[in-house]
Chains A and B, each alone.
With several copies, the nearest count.
Chain A
Amino acid sequence: MEPEFNNSNNINIHIDDFDGPLELLLHLIKQSEMDIYDIQIEKITRQYVEYLTEMKNLNVNIAGEYFVMASNLMAIKSKLLLPRNDEINEDDDYEDPRDELVNQLLIYQEYKEVSKVLKKMETKTSQYHSVDPVLPSVDEMIDFNDNEKFSIDLIQQAFDRIIDKIKSNEPYVHSVIEWEYTVKEQSTYVMDRLSKQKSVEFDSLFDKTSNVEFVVTTFLSLLELVKEQKVKVGQVDDKLYLEKIVKQGEE
C-alpha cells in the first residue's frame, strides 16, 4: 500500500498521549487539514486503522474504545457507499451518516478548548500561596473537648470511610484489553472460508463461541475486503451472503 500520508508523524505520538479515540480522530483530521464538517471518511478511516495497526505492531496495549471507534468509522463508510435512492436524493430528510460523529467531535472539541482556559486559570491560581491552618496545641484541644467533640466514634467513622474508599478503588472492569484478533488474520479467515465455498452466509462466519472481539474484527476485515474489491456482499431475503470476486486472469 502506498503511504498516502506520512506515517512517521503519527507513530512518534504514542497512543497513550491521546485522551481517547475522539482525540486521535481530531488529531488526524487536523493533520490532514480536513474540514470537520466534511470529513473524508474513507481517508480518515484508513489513517485511523493504519495508526492502530502500527501501535499494535509495537505491542502497545490499546483500549477497546479505539476499536469500537474503528468499527464505527467503517460503518459510516459503508453507509456512505450505499447507493442513495435518487427519489429522496434532494429530500431534506436525508441524514448524513457522518452527522452523529461530527456532533460528538464538536462537543468533545469544545470541552477540550474550555479545559485549556481552565488550565490557564489553574496556573494563575497556583501562583498564590497559603499556609496550613494554625493548629491548636493538643492540650488546648483536650481543653476544648468538654463537649466531647473528639469522641472515639470519630475513629470508627474515619475507619469506615477508609474502607469505603478502598472498596471504591478496587479494580474496575478492565477497559484496556489486549485485542486477540487482527484485521489481517480475519481477512485470511474470511478468504479461507470463501475458497472452500462459492457463497458464504454472513452469519455462518460466527458461532456461539465467537466473542465480541472476534465479531468486530471479522466485520472490519470484511469491510476492508469489500473496499479492496476482493469480496462482494449480496442480500437474499433477510440474509447476507459473501462471494469472492474473481478478477480476470485469476484462477
Chain B
Amino acid sequence: MVSKLAQLESLIYISGEDGITYDSLSSLMELSTSELDALMNQLRDSFQEEDSPFTLMEYSDKVQLATKEELNDLIKGYLQSDESISLTQTALETLTIIAYNQPITRVEVDDIRGVNSSKTVQRLLRQSLIATSGYKKVPGHPKLYTTTDNFLKLFGIKSLNELPKIDNEILLQEEENGGTTTEDNG
C-alpha cells in the first residue's frame, strides 16, 4: 500500500531537476488546490525529520526535490565533477541588472555597465537564465530580455519579489536619467 503522501513524493521525485507544477500534481492526483496544499504541508513536515535526506525547492509554480544543505559535503564527495553553472562576475552583474529592470534591452544593460554586454547576454541566453520576450517599440526594435524560471531556481527564490531590495533612491535617479525604462518594476 502507498499513501497519498507517497504518491505526491513519487511524482516530485520522478520530475527530477525539471520540477513539477502544482497544477500537474493536482490533476494527476485528482486533488483540489486546498487538498494539495494540506498534503504539501504534510510532506514538508516529514522532510523536517532527521531521517529524511530531502528538502523541497519551490520556485515560480513548480516544486522540486533536493537533498538537504547539510548533506552537501557528503554528496560533493560522491559527485567528482561539479557541473553546476558557475557564473563569472560579469555574468552575475549583467544578470542582476536584467533581473531588476526587466524587460530590458541589451543597449540599456550596456548603459548601466558602461561596457558592451552582447557576449555575456548570449551566454546567459544559452544557459537559459534569461530569455527574449518581444521587442521594444523604439527605432530598431531591439529585443527585450527577461529572467527565466531557471534564474529563480539558481538563486533559490520563488518569485522576483524575493530579490534583495535595492536602494530606491538610486533606482529613481536612474529612471530620470532615461538609462532604462521599466514597465512592471517600481
Contacts and interface: CB of A to CB of B under 8 A. Distances in A.
Interface of A: 19-22, 63, 65, 69, 100, 103-104, 106-108, 110-112, 114-115, 117-119, 121-122, 124-142, 144-145, 148-159, 161-163, 165-166, 168-170, 172, 175
B52 to A, nearest CB: 14
B93 A162 contact: yes
B164 A152 contact: yes
A133 B174 contact: no
Interface residues of B, number: 65
A65 to B, nearest CB: 5
Contacts of A104: 112, 114, 177
Nearest to A125: B156
Contacts of B14: 129, 131, 133-134
Contact of A163 (B13, B84, B170): B170
A162 B97 contact: yes
Given A106-B173, A163-B170, 8 more contacts: A65-B115, A103-B177, A110-B170, A122-B92, A133-B16, A133-B85, A135-B17, A159-B100
Interface stretch (B22-30, B34-42, B121-129): B121-129
B181 interface: no
Interface of B: 13-18, 55, 57, 64-69, 71-72, 75-76, 79-80, 84-87, 89-90, 92-93, 95-97, 99-100, 112-116, 118-119, 122-123, 125-129, 150, 153-157, 162-164, 166-167, 170-171, 173-174, 177-179
Contacts of B150: 138-139, 142
Nearest to A126: B84
Closest 8 CB pairs of A and B: A20-B115, A133-B16, A125-B156, A128-B66, A127-B72, A175-B116, A22-B114, A130-B17
Nearest to A154: B92
Contacts of A20: 113-115
B156 A121 contact: yes
Given A152-B156, A155-B155, A159-B166, A103 B116 contact: no
B153 A142 contact: yes
Contact of A172 (B64, B75, B118): B118
23 contacts: A19-B93, A22-B113, A103-B173, A103-B174, A103-B177, A107-B179, A115-B89, A115-B92, A117-B164, A122-B92, A125-B153, A128-B67, A129-B75, A130-B17, A131-B17, A133-B15, A134-B13, A140-B79, A150-B156, A152-B157, A152-B163, A158-B95, A166-B112
B66 A165 contact: no
Interface of A is mostly: helix
A130 B155 contact: no
Given A130-B64, A138-B154, A106 B119 contact: no
Contacts of A127: 69, 72
Contacts of A21: 114-115
B1 to A, nearest CB: 16
Contacts of A100: 177
Contacts of A133: 14-18, 84-85
Contacts of B178: 166
A22 B113 CA distance: 7
Contacts of A114: 96, 100, 163-164, 166
